[in-house]
């Protein structure tokens, strides 16, 4: 089965918690409580997300974290890449020269096509679309993600 890691899944939860309160600087403890995750896990996630430029950190008594930019300008691919690295189904679909069979591989092009489609799908989903409707501020294009069409 192909799937993202548990930490990547948790990172999306943490990011939606921050997106629900975009004007607030939230402590790690507040985020952990909102996300219903353990404090050490949330702390680890926030460090990776800050390193990737997706969240800002603030020191001091009123310190904490908030999104580095608007939720609609952060996509799911950026969160996945912050936690897992480049998106690719195989090593050779991310960068050339990773496999000695590359020059005579009959399936490399197909894997690159699949990786590109996955990357495009993840880039097409923004953080504001991941947030539950009650938490979202403003309008969204989430309809295609939550509603089935006949």
Asked if residues 135 and 24 have their Cβ atoms less than 8 Å apart, the reply is no
Residue 134's pLDDT is 56
Phi, psi of 65 (to 5 degrees): -135, 150
Helix-, strand-, coil-residue percentages of the chain, each rounded to 5: 55, 5, 40
- Set out the domains of the chain in order of their start, with CATH numbers: 6-134 (1.10.10.10)
**SS3 of 95, please?**
coil
- What DSSP character marks residue 66? E
Tell me the per-residue pLDDT of 11-27, one tens digit each, with 9 for 90 and over: 999 999 999 999 999 99
Mean pLDDT of 68-79: 97
- What DSSP character marks residue 75? B
Q: Between residues 69 and 133, which one has the greater pLDDT?
A: 69
Mean pLDDT of 32-52: 97
Nearest to 129 by CA among 72, 81, 73, 69: 72
| Integer Cα distance of 6 and 118 in angstroms | 19
The pTM score is: 0.83
Mean pLDDT of 70-91: 94
């Amino acid at each position: 089965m192909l799937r993202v890691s548990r930490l990547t899944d948790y990172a999306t939860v943490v990011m939606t918690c921050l997106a629900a309160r975009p004007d607030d600087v939230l402590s790690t403890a507040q985020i952990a409580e909102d996300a219903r995750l353990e404090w050490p896990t949330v702390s680890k996630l926030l460090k990776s997300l800050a390193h990737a430029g997706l969240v800002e950190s603030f020191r001091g008594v009123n310190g904490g974290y908030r999104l580095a930019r608007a939720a609609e300008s952060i996509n799911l691919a950026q969160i996945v890449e912050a936690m897992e690295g480049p998106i690719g189904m195989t090593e050779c679909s991310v960068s050339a020269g990773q496999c000695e069979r590359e020059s005579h591989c009959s399936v490399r092009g197909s894997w690159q096509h699949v990786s590109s489609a996955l990357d495009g799908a993840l880039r097409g989903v923004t953080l504001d679309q991941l947030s539950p409707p009650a938490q979202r501020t403003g309008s969204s294009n989430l309809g295609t993600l939550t509603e089935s069409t006949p």
